[in-house]
Amino acid sequence: MTRAQQQLALLATFSITYFICFAGLLPLPEKIQDEIIPVLPFWFLVSFGAFLLFKLGYGVLTFNDVPDAYEELMGQIKQAKTDLRKKGVDVSD
C-alpha cells in the first residue's frame, strides 16, 4: 500500500465517521449532537492552523545562521547559472 493510499484511507475513515455523526444516524446526547458535532471540522481547521503557526514560530525561534554555507550555496548557484547559460538554457537572474 502506497503512502498516498494510506492517507486517503485514513481521510475516508474520518470523513465517513463524521458524516454518520453529522447526519444523526448515531444516537448521541442532544447537547453534543446540536452544538459540538457541527463545530468539529472548524475546530480541526483552526487547531491545525494554530499547530502550523506554532511549528513555524518554533523554527524561527531556534533557527541558526551559517554564513559559510550561505557563501558556498551562492557560489554553487552562480556556477550552475553560467553552466546552463553556456548550454543555451534561458536562465532569468
Residues of this chain that interact with other proteins (CB under 8 A) are 31, 35-36, 38-39, 42-43, 45-47, 49-51, 53-54, 56-67
Q: How many residues are given for the chain?
A: 93
Residue 58 CA: distances (Å) to CA of 8, 18, 48, 67? 29, 32, 15, 21
- The nearest distance, CB 83 to other proteins, in angstroms, is 22
The residue whose grid cell reads 463524521 is 18
Cβ proximity to other proteins, 20 vs 56, nearer residue = 56
Cβ proximity to other proteins, 6 vs 14, nearer residue = 14
